[in-house]
Amino acid sequence: MLSYLYSLTSFLLLAVMAFCVAALLVVGMVKAFRSNLPQKWVRIPLTIAAVCTLGVLIGLLRPLDPAVINSGEASDMLAYAYETDQADRMTIGAYLGLFENNMAKRDSIRLAQVRQLYQDNQISLPKDKFYAAFVFHHSKKSAFFEIAQKLAGEAAAVSELKDDYVVQWLARATYDRWMVSLGKPEKYGTQDKFSISVELLILNQKRLPWEIQTNFLRLKQMSSSKR
């Protein structure tokens, strides 16, 4: 399973790219019947699509921030670990599988920090439990999947997060992944499907007012090899 956080800007760029591709297809069909169609009808959408593609690639190829921070409150460290977990999976390498070793190393750094916070009983707030559960969820051991399910379940049970789609989804996904790792059937069917859902979330004032949250559920065959 992978979960990606797309900024509104990136989402709009992708939308414009899709529109330009559709426009080029329409122009191509029209040109088949009207060979004298002005070239600007091809050049304009092609140029816009190229600019948008460049923008998306620049965003995906951006340098990675440190995997964790070692200062501040536990909540700050957990939120940061969650954000870099998401950001890492928005790189080209995550799509092409080029940097799996580096990704695994960064995941292990995040896991080590979150494990220590968990052992020190510093994970008590519902949102902190969600952040920590996501990091545990991207580990490779059943024992960590069990912890992920425990934390995610506790976060999902809190009234303030009852309507948070991602929190509720993670509670189900962590349970299924834990069961699959034990060789047992899943309960919610989150590990053998590929689906995309988009929802708008209100974030704090230091960031864009809206962001697009897109969740990708991997095929079961892939869930044990890609984290």
What pLDDT score does 52 carry?
79
What pLDDT score does 88 carry?
82
Residues facing 202 on adjacent strands = 210
Closest CA to 133 of 73, 173, 74: 173
CA–CA gap between residue 216 and residue 196 (Å, rounded)? 6
What pLDDT score does 208 carry?
32
206 alpha carbon, distance to own chain's centre: 20
Across all residues in the chain, what is the average pLDDT? 78
CA–CA gap between residue 130 and residue 114 (Å, rounded)? 12
Query: Can you read off the two tokens belonging to residue 117?
Result: 């916070």
φ, ψ (nearest 5 deg) of residue 201 = -120, 135
Handedness of CA 65, 70, 76, 78 (dihedral sign): positive
CB 213 within 8 A of CB 199: yes
What pLDDT score does 124 carry?
96
What pLDDT score does 189 carry?
84
What pLDDT score does 1 carry?
42
What pLDDT score does 97 carry?
55
CA–CA gap between residue 180 and residue 203 (Å, rounded)? 33
Instruction: Give the position of tokens 């969740």.
Output: 215
Instruction: Give pLDDT tens digits for 76-117.
Output: 999 999 999 988 877 665 555 555 558 888 999 999 999 999
Query: Which of 39-43, 50-54, 137-141: highest mean pLDDT?
Result: 137-141
What pLDDT score does 212 carry?
33
What pLDDT score does 216 carry?
35
Closest CA to 46 of 31, 30, 27: 27
Element (H, E) at 5: strand 2-7
What pLDDT score does 83 carry?
92
Q: What percent of the chain has pLDDT over 70?
A: 72
At 16, the amino acid letter reads V
Instruction: Give pLDDT tens digits for 165-217.
Output: 889 999 999 999 999 999 999 998 887 654 444 333 333 333 333 333 333 33
CB neighbours of residue 80 within 10 Å: 20
